[in-house]
Amino acid sequence: MSALKHIKIPYLEDTPEPRHQVRHTGTLSGKRSFQVLRSQGPCPFCLGESQQNHETKIVVAEPDAIQGQGKKTELFADVLMTCACDFSHRGQPSGLRGCGRSWSQEVEVV
Ligand SMILES: [Zn+2]
Ligand SMILES: [Zn+2]
């Protein structure tokens, strides 16, 4: 369970370097070459949690690409994410969600 405290930063459309490392996990659905990644995790700027769908092209590693080990193939996807937390931010345009920040997020596909 994550209990991050939301930070009420003013809304700003920006793509700064994240100051926190946050962990996102997601699940895939859709066809092989064009899939929808449903990710969940906090915004690294305001720490507000959001769940988002991303259309993404994922190269799925062949199960036997990693030799030996016999362990589950780990799959990650990098997506450009924009904060969509449920909290209000000062200066937030109506109809929009989140703090406005975008960042490149590594999502662990589970
Ligand atoms: Zn945010
Ligand atoms: Zn927020």
What pLDDT digit, counting tens, does each position of 1-54 carry? 557 899 999 999 999 999 889 999 999 887 766 789 999 999 999 999 999 999
Q: Would you state the structure tokens that stand for residue 52, as one six-digit string?
A: 């988002």
Write down the pLDDT at residue 60. 56
Q: Is residue 6 part of a domain?
A: no
Q: Is residue 19 part of a domain?
A: yes
- Spacing, Cα 21 to ligand 2 middle (Å): 16
| Cα–Cα distance list, 33 to 29, 55, 60, 61 (Å) | 11, 10, 9, 12
Q: For residue 6, with 0-12 CB atoms within 10 Å meaning exposed, 13-18 middle and 19 or more buried, which class applies?
A: middle
Q: Is residue 103 part of a domain?
A: yes
Q: Is residue 66 part of a domain?
A: no
Tracing tokens 């720490």 back to the chain, one arrives at: 47
Predicted structure pTM score: 0.79
| Number of domains forming the structure of the chain | 1
Nearest to 103 by CA among 77, 70, 87, 79: 79
Write down the pLDDT at residue 65. 47
- Spacing, Cα 42 to ligand 2 middle (Å): 9
Q: Is residue 7 part of a domain?
A: no
Please, what's the largest Cα pairwise distance for the chain?
Answer: 54
- Spacing, Cα 60 to ligand 1 middle (Å): 29
Q: Is residue 56 part of a domain?
A: yes
> What is the pLDDT averaged over residues 96-102?
96
Average pLDDT, the chain: 85
Q: Is residue 65 part of a domain?
A: no
Q: Which domain holds residue 40?
A: 14-60+73-87+97-110
Q: Is residue 67 part of a domain?
A: no
Write down the pLDDT at residue 92. 96
